[in-house]
Amino acid sequence: MKEAGYTQKPFLIAGCLFIIFLISFLPGSVYGQTKKKLLNPDIVYIGNSITQGVQLSNPNEEAPPATATKYVALQKGAGTVKFLNRGRSGFTTVDFLPSDSGILKQVIEASGKFHNDPQRLLVFSISLGTNDSAEKGPKGSPVDPAAYSQNLKSIADKLLSGFPGCRIIFQQPIWYSPNTYNGSKYMAEGLARLQSYFPVLKSLVDKYSLSNPGQVFLGDTKAFTYFRKHYLTDLIPEKGNAGTFYLHPNKKGAEVLGDLWGKAIYKCISKN
C-alpha cells in the first residue's frame, strides 16, 4: 500500500501544476500577462448647437456629450472618463478647417491642456453636417458631399498630426424637419443634402482604415432614423419662417442621442 501511495504522488503534483498553468492564461490572472488595461478616455466633442446643447437649461449636465460620457463611464474596463464639449452653435466643417487662428486651433490647444496624461486615451467625437447641409446661412453652406468629405479629412488629418495616438469617431448627423427655417434656411433640399453625407462618412472611414488602421471610426448611425420617428417627443418645437420646425433635441432627446453616441464611442475604443 505504501508503494501504491508513493507512485500516485507525482501524478498529484503534475495535476496541480497543470491547473496552475491553465489559470495563468485566464483573463486578469495574476500569474499571466493577459489583464486588460483600462481605457481611461479623455473625450473631446466637436460639433454644432446640438453638441453644445444650447436649447437645454443645463447643457453641462444635459447635452449629449455629458450623457455619452456617463454611458461610457459605466462600461466594463472604461476606467475614469473625462470630457470636453467644444460644440459651437451654427458651425460647419468650414468653420473647423485648419488655420493659424481658427476654431480648430483653439480646440487643439484646449485638448492639449485637457489631455495632460499620456497614459490616457484621447478620443475626438465629431458630429458636423447639419449646418453644412443648409441652403443658405451658415458659413460655407451649402457644402456639397465632395467638399464635406475633404473638409472632414482636413480636420481629421490635423488632429491625427497633433495627437498621433488619438482616436477619431465620426457621428452621423441627426434628422431635422424638412421645413426647418430659422436664421438659416435648411428645408427639404437641405435634408436631402444631409443624407447624401452618410455614404461619404463611410467612405472616408474606409480610407482611413488603410492609412491609419485602428484610429478613425464611423460612430452612431441610428439617431437619424430615431429622431425622424420620435421628433414630436424628443425634439423641441421651434417657430420658424416656414412654420413650426424640429431641429434641436429636448432633454429627453439629448439623453437618447448621448446614449447612442456613448454606445458608439465605447464600441470603437474597446476594439483596441
The series of mean pLDDT values per 10 residues for the chain, 272 residues long, is 47 50 48 67 98 96 98 97 98 97 96 97 98 98 98 98 97 98 97 98 98 98 98 98 98 98 97 72
C-alpha cell at 221: 448611425
Name the strands in the sheet holding 167-170, side by side, starting at the edge strand that comes first in the sequence.
Answer: 82-87, 41-47, 121-127, 167-170, 216-218
145-162 and 103-114 are packed helices; what angle lies between their axes, rounded to 10 degrees? 40
Domain residue spans of the chain: 27-269
CB 242 within 8 A of CB 179: yes
Query: Which residues in the chain belong to E strands, given as ranges?
Result: 41-47, 82-87, 121-127, 167-170, 216-218, 235-240, 243-249
**Cα end-to-end distance, the chain, whole Å:** 57
Q: Is the pTM of this model over 0.85?
A: yes
Supply the pLDDT for residue 10.
53
Q: How many CB atoms lie within 10 A of CB 73?
A: 16
Q: Indicate the CATH number for domain 27-269.
A: 3.40.50.1110
Strand 121-127 and strand 167-170: the pairing is: parallel
**pLDDT confidence of residue 271:** 80
